[in-house]
Structure 1
Amino acid sequence: MKKIKTYFNEIAVVLILLFSLLGCDSNDDSNDSETDEKRTIIEMDTPVNSDINWKDVKMVWNEEFQEATSLEDTWNYETMDFITPDNTDGLQIYRKENAEVSGGTLKIHAKENDGVYTSARLSSKPAFKYGRVEIGVKLPEEGINGIWASIGLLGVNIEEVGWPQCGEIDIMEYFSNSPNKIFNYIHSSTNNTENGTLLSASYPIESAEEEIHAYGLLWTDKYLKFYVDDPDNITYTFLRPSSPTEENWPFNQPLFLLTGLVIGGSYGGEGVDASLFPASMEIDYIRVYHPN
């Protein structure tokens, strides 16, 4: 009887050790998956009404791009696989080396080497739901074909539903063949380029290529308002439809930032002028505010 008892005790010890090891492996995989797949969500409390003082705010997230900044802490380097290439028909290859922090700004460089065009595109690891989003930007040289610069927001469900179903808010778009002009666009299943119903606006800024200007979005569950340099200087307003759906208002979810330079393609002008290289977009800061 003593031998049998000892035998069963040994089996029990082995089984306990085995299940412990399996449990550790399972937990490690789960934690890694959560870290890799989930974004940090920064959400604003839904306002009781739309009468918000957007100057009486607190900053809840920011990037000032100081010399010690590591882009990989808060940004992902994106490739052409991120969004269907046909949406841009650009000629560039995205490379990590084309984005750098120096002199207090994030510089995204468009380059040409032996007929090969390279650039960079970055997406933010944090995602945001409502608030005031503001970006200080100096744009590349104007008046020649070849560059399309953009800073916008995309729905976090893009991998599930695709684009434009996820929703896209273009806070600033610039085309080098349309100097001194800034564009805003709103994409959704209802409003997009495919069906010819894309929502858009444009406005002139004479020094967009020489100076840093602030391009911003005021975003609540009731509206999207775009501005330049001051929250009171509204350039375009889109009100939530009276009967909102996932198709016409996909903006009641967290969205992440996406910025980069496209070279060539139909939007930057037919052909690429070789004299524009190297060209750079400089981002001085990105700040997200919530009302006090």
Structure 2
Amino acid sequence: MHASLGSVRAILASAALIGLAGLAGPAPAGSATGAPQPAAAAQDACGEVRAKADGSTWHCSFVDNFDGRELNLDKWITQDTSVTGFRTGVTCFTTARKNIQVSQGALRLTARNEKGTFLCQTPSGVFTTTYTGGMVGTRTKFSQTYGRFEVRAKLPTARRGGVHGGFWMFPLNLRYGIWPASGEIDIAEWWSNRPTSVMPSLHYDGRDPQKDSGWDCGVSTPSAYHTYALEWLPSGLKFFIDGKLCFSRTPEPAAPLVAPQPFDHPFSMILNMGVGPAFGNNAVSPSTPLPATYVVDYVKAWH
């Protein structure tokens, strides 16, 4: 292909500039051409390698950037109330695409008002509701004792009570007994009646509500992307929002357990979006703004 007149002029202009630069002498120290380029940051499957407080590095153990068109079932299981009976508030969790969807590089979990009551099936019977929701988890696919766990996500735009969801962790096995004896770790729990509060909490026998929840954690723009992270060590748990520490706690379990029990065995990760109960501070009602979608850009874990 023959060069256009414009292209020829551009080439001649570039040559002239190069010649002038050469006449000016060698590049000064520290310039782009006169100084060594910094080494690229080390990378692993999770991205740039992160440093621990002790100077060692975290090692990527789980990552999902939701780049496909479907949920990766090698990494996740889906919650189905009709199979498990699990519910939060009056949410009937389903595996339908309207509640769980991967598209445009993100996971979308949506709570919906189905505009009419229906019977939500459970293994032990049925309950009447009008609301469905989405929940996924890594149980049986990935679990870990201690480490760093992080999500980048944006919460719904709802600013009225009735919507509930977040990022949390639950034991793979109930080593110390049924809930809450074996522990629960809430990394970023959210209620639409307190929309700027994104709270970390620990649940276990001996829990002190004032000490075991990060009451001051939150963001002013919950419907924008933020990162929510946990660093979990035998010495305690630290919770971060956008890289800033917002809450830390060393659990004080009831006897006969001794810290770090019950937080000393494998937990899996969970993401959910549903509705609240029929009554209470975050009660769902016909005025609750639905559908409400929790958009997750990535989930990562390190050990």
Rg larger for: 2
CA distance in 1, matches of 2:163, 2:253: 37
Residue aligning to 2:187: 171
**Which of 268, 272, 276 in structure 2 is aligned with 1:264?**
276
3-state secondary structure, aligned to 2:168:
strand
The answer on whether the counterparts of 2:168 and 2:271 sit within 8 Å (CA) in structure 1 is yes
Residue aligning to 2:63: 62
Residue aligning to 2:239: 226
Residue aligning to 1:212: 225
The answer on whether the counterparts of 2:196 and 2:221 sit within 8 Å (CA) in structure 1 is yes
Bigger Cα displacement from structure 2, 164-173 vs 66-75: 66-75
The amino acid across from 2:149 in the alignment is: V
The amino acid across from 1:154 in the alignment is: F
Bigger Cα displacement from structure 2, 74-83 vs 161-170: 74-83
**Does structure 1 residue 118 correspond to structure 2 residue 156?**
no
| CA offset digits 1:129-166 (Å, max 9, x no partner) | 11111100100113111101121111111388221112
| CA offset digits 1:24-64 (Å, max 9, x no partner) | xxxxxxxxxxxxxxxxxxxxxxxxxx95348x433221010
For residues 2-13 of structure 1, what are the structure 2 equivalents within 5 Å? none
The amino acid across from 2:133 in the alignment is: S
Bigger Cα displacement from structure 2, 176-185 vs 198-207: 198-207
Greater relative contact order, per chain length (Cα 8 Å cut-off, separation 6+): 1
Q: CA deviation at 1:198?
A: 7.3
The answer on whether the counterparts of 1:154 and 1:256 sit within 8 Å (CA) in structure 2 is yes
Q: CA deviation at 1:246?
A: 3.9
CA distance in 2, matches of 1:188, 1:75: 25
Report the TM-score, using the length of structure 1 for normalisation. 0.71
Please state which structure has a larger fraction of its residues in helix.
1
Residue aligning to 1:93: 92
The answer on whether the counterparts of 2:101 and 2:109 sit within 8 Å (CA) in structure 1 is yes
For residues 47-86 of structure 1, what are the structure 2 equivalents within 5 Å? 51-53=53-55, 56-80=57-81, 85=87
* Structure 2 spans left out of the alignment, 5+ residues: 1-51, 117-129
CA 1:246–1:121: 2 relative to 1, 3 Å? farther
The answer on whether the counterparts of 1:156 and 1:256 sit within 8 Å (CA) in structure 2 is yes
The amino acid across from 1:239 in the alignment is: T
CA 1:262–1:268: 2 relative to 1, 3 Å? farther
**Does structure 1 residue 288 correspond to structure 2 residue 301?**
yes
CA 1:101–1:271: 2 relative to 1, 3 Å? closer
Q: CA deviation at 1:247?
A: 6.9
Q: How many residues align?
A: 231
Q: What is the root-mean-square deviation of aligned Cα atoms in Å? A: 2.8
* Structure 1 spans left out of the alignment, 5+ residues: 1-49
Q: CA deviation at 1:274?
A: 3.7
CA 1:84–1:93: 2 relative to 1, 3 Å? closer
